[in-house]
Amino acid sequence: MAGVIVVGADGSAPGAAAVGWAADDAARTGAELRIVHALDRQPYAVTRFPDYGQGNYLLMAAAKVLEAAEVTARARQPSLRLHAQVVEGTPAAVLLDQARQADELVIGSRGLGGFAGALLGSVTMHVAGHAACPVVVVRAEGGGPVGEIGVGIGDSDVCEPAIGYAFEQARLRGARLRLIRAWRIPVHAFAPEIAYDVDEVRAAQHEAVRARTAGWRESCPEVTVVEDVQSAHPVEALTGAPCDLIVVGSHGRGAFGSLVLGSVSRGVLHHARCAVAVVRP
């Protein structure tokens, strides 16, 4: 992917981690890195009182955030093609607009304005649910590299772009790819005596994983894959394995904020201990 990777910088620890992640991914893919800081004047627009040059202070603060982000990116990848800019507007609106011109958008899990007890910031959830390109959400407290990518394998075609993204990430990193599929034996309230052969069900789930990923395995033979089929809740299965990145699909339907993500995607974003990529159809 030689295109554009956009990363949001806001001066927070998750924001700095996002810049570092984006710099590394831009180096792997050959993409240009675009660092964007959203300058939101709305909270300071108190017209009852004179400005006294407050606008200049906001611009100066924004410039410092960008400068620190550039230093972080250059320290990780000195030879990057890099462009940094301040864009006026609310963070969510700015990032969604930038995503229209990007191949990937990288953001921190929580910005400076988030509540201390929140698992994920409201801006992050909104952007992850509405952006037109893959969105990678990065945590500041992420651990060291383990050399493995995880991707959720579902029954619908919604997961197809996520599988392709995961194979490409694994190929570029030289990482192992864990194909994660969660299943549960159905419970029939009105016919509890129905029995299932667990081994047969498990074999069918493995076959579903192979069928869904056959084309990608053929096109990326250098990627080592592991089939991880579990009788568990999907969120538990996806967040339980130690990975550098978890990739999930999103159905992309709905009209109410983060609900467009679906319950599994939202659950993974909230509870994963590593970076999460949300890839929409």
- Using DSSP's 3-state secondary structure scheme, residue 120 falls into coil
pLDDT band at 121 (very low <50, low <70, confident <90, very high): confident
Residues 121 and 114: their CA atoms lie apart, in Å, by 5
The per-residue pLDDT for 281 is 78
What pLDDT digit, counting tens, does each position of 143-185 carry? 778 999 999 998 888 889 999 999 999 999 999 999 999 987 6
Task: Give the pLDDT confidence score for residue 255 in this predicted structure.
Answer: 41
Helices 122-130 and 263-271: crossing angle, nearest 10°?
140
pLDDT digits 0-9 by tens, 91-103: 999 999 999 999 9
Question: Taking a C-beta distance cutoff of 8 angstroms, is the pair 125, 265 a contact?
Answer: no
> What are 70-91's pLDDT values in tens digits?
999 999 999 999 999 999 999 9
Q: How far apart are CA 98 and CA 33, in angstroms?
A: 12
In the chain, the domains with their CATH numbers are 4-138 (3.40.50.620), 148-279 (3.40.50.620)
Percentage of the chain exceeding pLDDT 90: 64
pLDDT at 202: 87
176: which 2 tokens?
Answer: 């192992």
Question: Which pLDDT score, from 0 to 100, does residue 157 have?
Answer: 83
**Of 27 and 142, the one with more pLDDT:** 27
Which range in 134-138, 256-260, 269-273 is most confidently predicted, on average pLDDT?
A: 134-138
Residue 35 has pLDDT above 90, yes or no: yes
pLDDT confidence of 250, banded at 50, 70, 90?
confident
Distance in angstroms (rounded) separating the CA atoms of residues 34 and 224: 32
What lies within 8 Å, CB to CB, of 192 at 6+ separation is: none
Question: Residue 257: is its pLDDT beyond 70?
Answer: no
Q: How far apart are CA 14 and CA 157, in angstroms?
A: 32
What's the whole-number average pLDDT of the chain? 86
Instruction: Look at residues 11, 250, 34, 236 and name the one whose alpha carbon lies nearest to residue 110.
Output: 11
**Residue 20 confidence (pLDDT):** 97
Residue matched to tokens 């893919």:
29
First-residue to last-residue Cα distance in the chain:
17
Q: Find the helix or strand (DSSP H, E) in which 86 lies.
A: strand 82-88
Q: What's the whole-number mean pLDDT along residues 271-275?
A: 93
Q: How many CB atoms lie within 10 A of CB 172?
A: 16
> For residues 153 and 216, is the Cβ–Cβ distance under 8 A?
no
Element (H, E) at 107: strand 104-108
